[in-house]
Each structure stands twice: as structure tokens, then as C-alpha cells.
Amino acid sequence: MPSYFMPRLHLSGDLTKVQRDIKAALDGYQGVDILNGFLIADVELKTGKNNEIGHPLDRAVQGYFVVQKSANAVIFNGSAGIGTSKDSFTLQCSADVTVSLWVF
């Protein structure tokens, strides 16, 4: 996995230490699924069914946040759960709604 921070300057002394410290701090966030997510905008969900939603994560979804919705609806996991496929997951809703989701 590539580092989030790659020093580009060859400095000496204290500045080199600062670069190393920044790299070490940012590398600690690698592999944190919630940060390595994807925003899926304008997903139309229909009530009374499992709504299958594709995603580009190339792994099973660990979770999701509803970041925007067009109506007062409750969004919840589909009947099979969310972490069963590496390219899609299912959600259900209490009313027809369009949502944007952060999936991770």
C-alpha cells in the first residue's frame, strides 16, 4: 500500500526529522476502512424491497453513512446484510428516497 506522505525534499537536520514524523503520523491512517471509502451520490431507494447498490471498493462494504437524503426515511441494511459482496450491497428504506452514501 502506498504511503499517504512521500518526502520530496532532501533536507538535513531538524527538517528531515519533521518529514519523518509527518510520514509516520500519516502512515498510521493506512488501512483504516472508513477513510478509504467512496461517495455514492443520488442513489434512488424504493420502499418494500432490497435495493442493490454497486460500489467500486473491490472489497465487502464494512459500513456506510447517509450523508444526504431527499425525504424523511429510515435507511437500514438489506435482508442479507451489507458485507456479503465485493462489488455491491443492499439497503432497505421506510419510504421512497434518494440518498448519497459514504461507503467504507
| Cβ within 8 Å of residue 14, ≥6 positions away | none
Q: Rounded to the nearest 10 degrees, how much is the dihedral formed by the CA atoms of 38, 78, 68, 56?
A: 20
Q: What is the pTM of this model?
A: 0.71
- Could you tell me the residue ranges of all domains in the chain? 1-30, 38-103
26-73 pLDDT, tens digit per residue, is 787 777 778 889 999 999 999 999 999 999 999 999 999 999 999 999
Amino acid making up residue 94 = S
Whole-angstrom distance, CA of residue 96 vs CA of residue 70: 9
In 3D, which of 82, 50, 46, 87 has the Cα closest to residue 64?
Answer: 82
